[in-house]
Amino acid sequence: MDLFIAIFTGTIIAATPLIFASLGELVVEKSGVLNLGLEGMMLMGAAFAFWAVISGLPMPVAIAAGALAGAATSLLFGVLALTFLTNQYAAGLALAIFGSGVSAFLGRGFGSTPIDALKRIHIPLLSDIPVVGPLFFRFDPMVYLAIAIFGLITWFLYRTKGGLILRTIGESPETSHAIGYPVTRIRYMAVLFGGLMAGLAGAYLSVAYTPLWVENMTAGKGWISLALVVFATWRPLRVLIGAWLFGGMTILQLQGQALGIAVPSELLSALPYLATIIVLVIISQNRQMLALHFPASLAKPFRAAS
Amino acid sequence: MRLRIEQRPEPSAQMRIAAPVIATALTFLAGSVLFAALGYDPLITLHAFFVAPLNSINGLSEWLLKASPLILIACGLAVGFRANIWNIGAEGQLIIGAIAACGVGLFYPNPESPLLLPLMFLAGTGAGMVWAAIPAFLRARMNTNEILVTLMLTYIATLLLSFLVHGPWRDPAGFNYPQTALLPPAAMFEPFDYAYRLNPSVFITAVAVVLMWLFADRSFLGYKMSVSGAAPLAARYAGFRESSAVWTGLLAGGAAAGIAGMAEVAGPLGQLSPQISPGYGFAAIIVAFIGRLNAFGIVLGGLLMSLLFLGGETVQMTLGLPAALTRIFQGVLLFFLLAADFFIYYRLRHIPEHA
């Protein structure tokens, strides 16, 4: 039972940064913009949040700093992709390289000592229920925040006028512009929101998940989050499920390494990357489903001809 | 007086060439601001970064040595980029090429055979192509996005390398360091001069540049690839198969990166260790863009990028600045280039205001 609880809670925790990053990217892509720079924004979030903690700032401020760092980084992408209409693939790549460089640059002074991780909260009464308590009610607040954000995004996208406008812009910026919606401004907001989420994801990694600074500590989680959006065929609930699947795989692999299974640790470490490929291949078979939810204007620059 | 952005009637050919120059100048400018903000004299630091490394024969040798893989890989990648095939996993293909070449060099029964180097060349090329064939197959037959697959394969290649040097290929006489034994002399390029590290593998790069030029400007296949990149619908109408562009694009990049990996291990490295590339595979993407996806431009772009690597190392040693600066400059350079490219298609016009 203890092992099951460990694997279950570990899965939820490992999925949390992926949930933040891919839900943010989902909103960005729903507006018709493809920001490949998640890895860079996450690293910036991780570096700034860690920096804030070792500078003695309280944890909530540190996490906010990480989120803002992600948003500020995404603004660079926004200016390139939305104002300068550059190729979004190239702009995203530049952001990934830039973020990895700047975070490594900042991080050289961080030392290699772990910090006190974000505390878990025991929700009164509920956390004392046998089995259910340890399974669901003893996480750190960011885990609950991720779920709450999932709810908010789903509600926003499919139950509000704002969400409808955002999705319309993703389908056809020309039509939206003709109706009178400020396409570029709304896309900027989407990109900033995606940056904020990626920053949160990074902050979670450096102050809660592995409370320690390591250069390039995201180790591909930004790219995996991108893959999750495709895997989810641009639907929030599937992002959540996909993130849990990946979280589960990460934890099983770590458990495997801990148990000393007679397989090279590198092979186990390669599993999430292999799984990403396999999952992408499987989902790509279903062209109909992909086409149904794919934002039609994804990665196509748009400039209002005024 | 107001400024207005308007679309040019036709894309500006001058701006296409000026953009990389403007981007480079702006990168230098941003670099000086950054250095000044860090409390270093910008002029001295820029000099240490971009001039001092080239003040000696050894510096020039290192400059070309580092430019060589960058130019080689960028040539291969540009083939794909012209057709909008996004191979961003050249780093992984380089690693796999280096592993295969080093494997041949270490385990070929006759370590003095003159065939050793050519065999390693074939092994590196083939391995890089195999690693790129996976995303090619998945994209052409299974409709799978090549960006994510090439990247995931890069992480897997890194782990495979780590496994080999920590495990089965570790040098038993290597004091437990995670590295393989040194390659025998017959498995290595002989430097032009033993005082410096530059070796004849630069000629491979020179050949690649010529091939790239022939391919892009003189071949029908190159033309077809450009058409499928610029106008996919027109390409389909003309009967150019998308899958052939996918295969050509990815295999060219994979072969080039595999050869670069072979040349690294048979050149300056001489053995495998967990870190065999300072990110040549990623930097080459920027080189290809800076070089406007054409052969001559890529040579210039590769020389610039090589200087960024070299300068980063130099200021790390002389001024104690972190080597991560190189990656920051790479990102900034690409940012400015992309922004400057805007003015190929658009221009600023003064609009006089009448009373």
Chain A residue nearest residue B323, CA to CA:
A105
Residue B352 contacts A where some CB pair is shorter than 8 Å: no
Confidence of residue B115 (pLDDT cuts 50, 70, 90): very high
What's A44's domain CATH number? 1.10.3470
Residue closest to A77 by CA, chosen among A94, A53, A55? A94
Residue B11 contacts A where some CB pair is shorter than 8 Å: no
Q: Is residue B46 part of a domain?
A: no
- Counted across chains A and B, CB pairs separated by less than 8 A come out at 127
As given in the structure block, the two tokens for residue A139 are 């996480």
State the residue range of the domain holding A201.
Answer: 2-293
Answer whether residue B345 shows pLDDT above 90: no
Q: Do B208 and B127 fall within a single domain?
A: yes
Yes or no, beta carbons of B327 and A95 under 8 Å apart: no
pLDDT score for A40: 96
Residues 152-171 of B with CB under 8 A from A: 152-153, 155-156, 159-160, 162-163, 166-167
Q: Is residue A21 part of a domain?
A: yes
What's B197's domain CATH number? 1.10.3470
Bridge partners (DSSP) of residue B3 are B350
d(CA B86, CA B83): 9
Confidence of residue A122 (pLDDT cuts 50, 70, 90): confident
Confidence of residue A225 (pLDDT cuts 50, 70, 90): very high
pLDDT score for A267: 87
- The helix-helix angle for B220-230 and B242-264 (nearest 10°) equals 110
> What is the total count of domains within chain B?
2
Lowest mean pLDDT among A110-124, B202-216, B247-261, B277-291: A110-124
Q: Is residue A242 part of a domain?
A: yes
As given in the structure block, the two tokens for residue A43 are 């690293």
pLDDT score for A48: 96
Q: CA A90 → CA A96, A121, A253, A257, B84, distances in Å?
A: 10, 42, 33, 37, 11
Q: Do B264 and B333 fall within a single domain?
A: no
Average pLDDT, chain A: 90
Q: Do B270 and B325 fall within a single domain?
A: no
Average pLDDT, chain B: 90
Q: Do B89 and B104 fall within a single domain?
A: yes
Q: Which of B151, B285, B345 is closest, CB to CB, to A223? A: B151
Q: Is residue B53 part of a domain?
A: no
Lowest mean pLDDT among A101-115, B101-115, B188-202: A101-115
Answer whether residue B32 shows pLDDT above 80: yes
As given in the structure block, the two tokens for residue A75 are 């603004």
Chain B residue nearest residue A76, CA to CA:
B335
Answer whether residue B55 shows pLDDT above 80: yes
Find out whether A3 and A259 touch, Cβ atoms under 8 Å: no
pLDDT digits (tens, 9 = 90+) for A233-250: 899 999 999 999 999 988
Q: Do B216 and B298 fall within a single domain?
A: yes
pLDDT digits (tens, 9 = 90+) for A283-303: 888 888 777 888 888 888 888
Answer whether residue A15 shows pLDDT above 70: yes
Q: What is the dihedral of CA B142, A279, B85, B24, to 10 degrees?
A: 180
Long-range contacts from A285-292, C-beta under 8 angstroms, 24+ separation: A285/B142, A285/B143, A287/B143, A289/A233, A290/A230, A290/A233, A292/A233
Yes or no, beta carbons of A101 and B342 under 8 Å apart: no
Q: Is residue B96 part of a domain?
A: yes
Average pLDDT over residues B257-264: 97
Q: Is residue A201 part of a domain?
A: yes
User: Which chain A residues are closer than 8 Å to B160 by Cβ?
Assistant: 266, 270
pLDDT digits (tens, 9 = 90+) for A45-99: 999 999 999 998 999 999 999 999 999 999 999 999 999 998 898 899 889 999 9
Q: Do B227 and B355 fall within a single domain?
A: no
Comparison of pLDDT for A193 and B312, the residue scoring more: A193
Q: Which of B144, B163, B328 is closest, CB to CB, to A284? A: B144
Answer whether residue A306 shows pLDDT above 70: no
Q: Do B288 and B343 fall within a single domain?
A: no
Q: Is residue A300 part of a domain?
A: no
pLDDT score for A126: 83
Q: Is residue A305 part of a domain?
A: no
Q: Is residue B170 part of a domain?
A: yes
d(CA A43, CA A206): 9
Q: Is residue A165 part of a domain?
A: yes
Q: Do B341 and B308 fall within a single domain?
A: no
pLDDT digits (tens, 9 = 90+) for B220-249: 888 888 887 777 788 888 877 888 889 999
State the residue range of the domain holding B202.
Answer: 63-320
pLDDT score for B9: 86
Q: Is residue A302 part of a domain?
A: no
> 10 Å Cβ neighbour count for B118?
11
Q: Is residue A89 part of a domain?
A: yes
User: Which chain B residues are closer than 8 Å to A264 by Cβ?
Assistant: 163, 167
User: Which chain A residues are closer than 8 Å to B327 by Cβ?
Assistant: 97-98, 100-101, 104
pLDDT score for A203: 96
pLDDT score for B354: 66
Q: Do B333 and B252 fall within a single domain?
A: no
Sign of CA dihedral B247, B248, B253, B254: positive
Q: Do B220 and B254 fall within a single domain?
A: yes
User: Which chain A residues are closer than 8 Å to B338 by Cβ?
Assistant: 80, 84, 86-87, 90-91, 94
Q: What is the dihedral of CA B247, B252, B253, B259, to 10 degrees?
A: 140
pLDDT score for B252: 95
The DSSP secondary structure of A212-237, one letter per residue, reads S--TTTTTTHHHHHHHHHHHTTT-HH
Confidence of residue B1 (pLDDT cuts 50, 70, 90): low
Comparison of pLDDT for B320 and B104, the residue scoring more: B104
Q: Do B104 and B207 fall within a single domain?
A: yes
Q: Do B80 and B132 fall within a single domain?
A: yes
CA A224-A258-A11 angle, to 5 degrees, is 40
Q: Which residues of A sit within 8 Å Cβ distance of B?
A: 36, 40, 76, 79-80, 84-87, 89-91, 93-95, 97-102, 104-105, 108, 215, 219-220, 223, 226-227, 230, 264, 266-267, 269-270, 273-274, 276-277, 280-281, 284-285, 287
Find out whether A28 and A229 touch, Cβ atoms under 8 Å: no
ipTM: 0.88
Yes or no, beta carbons of B152 and A276 under 8 Å apart: yes
Q: Is residue B50 part of a domain?
A: no
How do strand B2-7 and strand B346-351 relate by DSSP bridges? antiparallel
Find out whether B88 and B282 touch, Cβ atoms under 8 Å: yes
Answer whether residue B267 shows pLDDT above 90: yes
Q: Is residue B168 part of a domain?
A: yes
Find out whether B297 and B18 touch, Cβ atoms under 8 Å: no
Residue closest to B133 by CA, chosen among B183, B164, B92, B98? B92
> What is the total count of domains within chain A?
1
